[in-house]
Amino acid sequence: MTKPPMLTAQQALEHLLSNAKPVSESERVAMQAALGRVLAQDVNSLVDVPPLDNTSMDGYAVRVADTQVPGNILHIAQRIPAGSVGTTLELGTAARIFTGAPIPPGANAVVMQEDCAIPEGSTDQVQINIAPTSGQWIRRRGEDLTVGKAALMAGTFLRPQELGVAASAGLTHLNVKRRVKVATFFTGDELSLPGEPLKPGGIYNSNRDTLLACLKSLGCDATDFGIVPDNLGATRDTLRKASKDHDLIITSGGVSVGEEDHIKPAVTAEGRLDLWQIAIKPGKPLAFGAVRKSEDLKDGEAWFIGLPGNPVSSFVTFLLFVRPFILKLQGREEAQVQSYPMRADFDWSKVDRRNEFLRVRINPQGGLDLFPNQSSGVLTSASWGDGLVDCPPGQTFKAGDMVKYIPFNALLT
Ligand code: AMP
Ligand code: MG
């Protein structure tokens, strides 16, 4: 049997991304329903934000020139609370003004109330103790958003702050990409669902909950087709069912080339498949292909990605390969995984020709600690950790060296 080709992580990712095409359909949803969705169209602001020059402090709106006079006492000629509009500031006068209120015509600075005093016995005069500079404490009209200009770009993943930007632009609804539809199933005769008794030699299916939750975090619609026994017929049947109405099928387990591994022959029979050995640890084998939705292919294909069965391997390969693929299907812009330089507070002396992804967490000293057991079966390493160190092939390092850190948080949205 010929050995599958060995790819670098970057080659595997590029191959996946070059195949993924964004879904074309979109839908219009109310603002709160758009959380976690992907914007399908630029959002142009309906208004200037702020709508007028306004004050960012409680205090007095003045003409800077008037505050240079000896004594600096000005007549308070008007009062402008937020939500009302003042009149032109007469020479030698000040306007009492409150945060968010528009600057009256003629004023060119605000003096905060802490820098002023009311002369003894006066009710309509203010003494300016610290002369302002021109433009002080004034927020300019349109400095946040400009009417008719893009406030948010198509392809943006919508977090709470993007919903706020869209609301400040005056929108009630957003056009978002339809959700990517993903089918999952889990291969392995040893698997049971939690709540069921374990078979002799059995283990619980943990990948199901990890992967379904990953898909939920990414805003996908997921359908689980359950645990599929290690045989060709059952695997092919489930593939056929899962291909209907789904953009992507994700499985775990059975992607090696042992006689109990049926993913490769099953997907090959129902579509097409590349089986890759990726030079990463954890998570070497990864299967990528497509399953026909109908015999004559007139309904197209569902993409197929087969992850390794070991729980850490399937989680890490999901984050590194499946997530960027899904992002691209969703039409999101930022498909590449971002790493940050961080200080390792541990030595790493095991040379491996594979690119290793170590489970680590940030310590209070601002460095990274390593989880002691890096086995691909020990899922508590990922739960203890807050991210991965991307350790290039053949590399070792010492405590104090800078390494590439990838936070889990950034990969779960
Ligand atoms: P496989 O990739 O099928 O050779 O499985 C590799 C290892 O992962 C074996 O020890 C399996 O028992 C384990 N495994 C496979 N699928 C799952 C799963 N869904 N949940 C937990 N462990 C699994
Ligand atoms: Mg198996």
Domains in the chain: boundaries: 9-23+179-330, 26-49+149-177, 54-139, 340-410
CA distance 402 to 386: 17
Ligand 1 pocket mutation, candidates 203, 305, 379, criterion most atoms within 8 A of CB: 203
Q: How far is the CA of 37 from the centre of ligand 1 (A)?
A: 32
Please provide residue 211's backbone torsions phi and psi, each rounded to the nearest 5 degrees: -70, -40
Adjacent-strand bridge partners of 356: 281, 391
Ligand number with the minimum distance to the CA of 208: 1
Q: Is the peptide bond before 194 cis (omega within 30 degrees of 0)?
A: no
Ligand 1 pocket mutation, candidates 225, 230, 252, 375, criterion most atoms within 8 A of CB: 252
CATH of domain 26-49+149-177: 3.90.105.10
Tokens of 290: 């497509």
- Nearest-5° angle of CA 353, CA 359, CA 362? 130
Buried b (16+ CB within 10 A) or exposed e, 380-406: ebbeebebbbbbeeeeeeeeeeebbbb
Nearest CA to ligand 1 atom 6: 309
Residue 4: what pLDDT?
Answer: 67
Tokens of 194: 């939690």
Q: Which ligand 1 atom minimizes the distance to the CA of 187? A: 16
110 neighbors 55 (Cβ within 8 angstroms): yes
Q: What is the pLDDT along the chain (413 residues), one digit of tens a residue?
A: 566 678 999 999 999 999 999 999 999 999 999 999 999 999 999 999 999 999 999 999 999 999 987 678 999 999 999 999 999 999 999 999 999 999 999 999 999 999 999 999 999 999 999 999 999 999 999 999 999 999 999 999 999 999 999 999 999 999 999 999 999 999 999 999 999 999 999 999 999 999 999 999 999 999 999 999 999 999 999 999 999 999 999 999 999 888 889 999 999 999 999 888 999 999 889 999 999 999 998 999 999 999 999 999 999 999 999 999 999 999 997 767 899 999 999 999 999 999 999 999 999 999 999 999 999 999 999 999 999 999 999 999 999 999 999 999 999 99
Adjacent-strand bridge partners of 228: 187
Residue 217: what pLDDT?
Answer: 94
Adjacent-strand bridge partners of 359: 388
Q: How far is the CA of 192 from the centre of ligand 1 (A)?
A: 11
Question: Is the CATH code 2.60.40.420 the one for domain 340-410?
Answer: no
CA distance 96 to 260: 81
Ligand 1 binding site (Cβ under 6 Å of any ligand atom): 186, 188, 190-191, 203, 205-207, 252-256, 308-311
User: Which of 84, 85, 91 has its CA nearest to residue 108?
Assistant: 91
Tokens of 342: 């961080």
Name residues whose C-beta falls within 8 Å of residue 159's C-beta, 6 or more positions apart in sequence: 35, 36, 413
Fold classification of 9-23+179-330 is Molybdenum Cofactor Biosythetic Enzyme; Chain A (3.40.980)
Nearest CA to ligand 1 atom 18: 205
Nearest CA to ligand 1 atom 14: 309
CATH of domain 54-139: 2.170.190.11
343 neighbors 401 (Cβ within 8 angstroms): yes
Q: How far is the CA of 344 from the centre of ligand 1 (A)?
A: 31
SS3 254: coil
Nearest CA to ligand 1 atom 17: 309
Q: How far is the CA of 226 from the centre of ligand 1 (A)?
A: 14
Residue 70: what pLDDT?
Answer: 64
61 neighbors 108 (Cβ within 8 angstroms): no
Q: How far is the CA of 392 from the centre of ligand 1 (A)?
A: 26
